[in-house]
Chain A
């Protein structure tokens, strides 16, 4: 079995790690991009009085190359690589917001992506190690009290269009066509979209910063709450990274059970998305049908884990409860029933002409655009690139299971819908194989891991329903808490593609094209601390007198 990612980046003898100086950095990037065209993310770590930037690339076949460059802490600046790879601009904005690194030649030099516009420009960047949680709370608290509230006018790159005869339409953060808060500055020429500039960060919850203040076991429950729909994949990827860092091997049965839950999650997520496609194209019956079929899977998840959404099923070194053979039989039966129902519904709706005509050719893009934007998951596969972490870097029980990577021939809404439908059937087959091949044994570790970390770094990648998920963990000997946890969620790069794909289409196509990538806006936003409201909350507990808690929202 191939080793996943790099266990210790610095100790690797192969060419997967390149240490460069800031001067020779542009040449190193130029030499890397032709053979490694997929930029996974830029990870910044504030360590030993400097900022380390780790550019992680993939050659779309599972081989990674990490280019590491070290910058001074004060007035850190480096050349932007967005002229070579368009999709990198969003990662650069993230690092600029959170670490204060200046990227020379960045296409949107002044705008923010994640930090609120009210965050003072002279305040220290939030993810530096020198900034404490209390200090951060104080800065944000003072900024939010100021008048007038600056959050009302988000700054995007739209100012460069002010001299031309274009209309800049503010779309969001609260808009009927968006289910989650998100702002787009949309440059319009008549009804046609010329450019769309995203601004996210309205649902920041400070997860990366908080993770540095909690023990390894506590962070597991924190990262589960990054995203409600792929919550299990988040906890699995984190666990995988910690297991690699500490050299823990889970039992075979635990790996199979993890795979089982992950695939059930993929089925429910894809079913949810196909339902939403109907919703956004005005076909509400399709939405109702699919969501009622999805309920069967949610009940299975509840039966396995006890919870429907945040499953708390996994732990470092195994899983937290076993699944009995009777339950596995129930899963087989229910899955067969779901397959029959799902096949019937999708056969009906995917041959319904009004729906096909509405979504065919909308938001079209080609493979090159998708790669340059850094797109992942079904969005990239629909354009014909077989990029699936389950296949190219097998983890869990996937090395022992045969399945196909589903690809499409062209990128548009219809093609992505087709890929997701076929992937759901593939997942059903995977679940059958998992249940057939599952070994016996005890998947629950005898004691829960409560210890600390050790010096080193670990990278873990998985394939959630939306695409590649990336975790980077840095540990230190003697520290109970992780030194740095970096999360790269699939929606962030896909958002770059969506804003590319919006160009040339009309205003009425925005909901469909945004839905195409299956956006999970909350999973992109996770980097600052929310101070909370001051209204007193009353907690009512059955059979005990009500009591007042001070301080408002919990972090």
Chain B
């Protein structure tokens, strides 16, 4: 019995000295992206050749191809389409960046993630 109480006191002291299990909200905001997490896809428009591979493979169909102006590719000037990201559909899987042969999609971690709010309320 005495050992049991001893354990209880020990456990209580340990819990008092330990860091909390949950993160304070400030720390969460700072820790949005870790080293391993996948970030937000953004387009480097100069590199894009308008092949639509990203739009065809996007799992959540968040990429639509929109007119992107004229571009000179291989000596010829042609009208190309460039991807436009719908971030409300994006699942941040990084597939578009990995599949792009021109490395025209950059994954950025310096932006805040996107917040969806109903009826225009903002955080």
Chain A contacts to B: CB under 8 angstroms = 214-215, 217-218, 220-222, 292, 295, 302-307, 310, 312, 320, 448, 450, 535-543, 546, 549, 554
Q: Are A554 and B98 also in contact (CB < 8 A) when A221-B59, A540-B122 are?
A: no
Contact B93 A302 (CB under 8 A): no
Chain B contacts to A: CB under 8 angstroms = 21, 34, 36-38, 53, 56-61, 86-89, 91, 93-95, 98-99, 111-112, 114-123
Contact B57 A302 (CB under 8 A): no
Contact B114 A539 (CB under 8 A): yes
Q: A535-B119, A539-B87 known; 5 other A-B pairs, CB under 8 Å?
A: A218-B57, A222-B59, A320-B98, A540-B117, A554-B89
Residue numbers in B under 8 Å from A306 (CB-CB): 34, 36-38
Residue numbers in A under 8 Å from B89 (CB-CB): 554
Contact B36 A221 (CB under 8 A): no
Residue numbers in B under 8 Å from A554 (CB-CB): 60, 88-89
Most buried by B among A215, A537, A541, A543: A541
Checking B87, B99, B117, B120 against A448 with a beta-carbon cut-off of 8 angstroms, the contacting residue is B99
Residue numbers in A under 8 Å from B99 (CB-CB): 448, 450
Q: Say how far B123's CB is from chain A's closest CB, in angstroms.
A: 8
Q: Say how far A322's CB is from chain B's closest CB, in angstroms.
A: 12
Checking B37, B58, B88 against A549 with a beta-carbon cut-off of 8 angstroms, the contacting residue is B88
Residue numbers in A under 8 Å from B112 (CB-CB): 542
Residue numbers in B under 8 Å from A222 (CB-CB): 59
Contact A539 B88 (CB under 8 A): yes
Residue numbers in A under 8 Å from B120 (CB-CB): 538, 546
Contact B59 A217 (CB under 8 A): yes
Contact A537 B36 (CB under 8 A): no
Contact B117 A310 (CB under 8 A): no
6 A-B contacts, Cβ less than 8 Å apart?
A: A215-B56, A217-B59, A221-B95, A307-B38, A535-B119, A554-B60
Q: Say how far A103's CB is from chain B's closest CB, in angstroms.
A: 36
Complex Cα–Cα for A547 and B60 (A): 19
Contact B38 A535 (CB under 8 A): no
Residue numbers in A under 8 Å from B21 (CB-CB): 292, 295
Complex Cα–Cα for A271 and B51 (A): 46
Residue numbers in B under 8 Å from A320 (CB-CB): 98
Residue numbers in A under 8 Å from B119 (CB-CB): 535-536, 538
Checking B36, B59, B60, B123 against A305 with a beta-carbon cut-off of 8 angstroms, the contacting residue is B36
Complex Cα–Cα for A105 and B56 (A): 47
Q: Say how far A249's CB is from chain B's closest CB, in angstroms.
A: 21
Complex Cα–Cα for A304 and B35 (A): 11
Q: For residue B37, which residue of chain A has the nearest CB?
A: A306
Checking A448, A535, A542, A546 against B98 with a beta-carbon cut-off of 8 angstroms, the contacting residue is A448
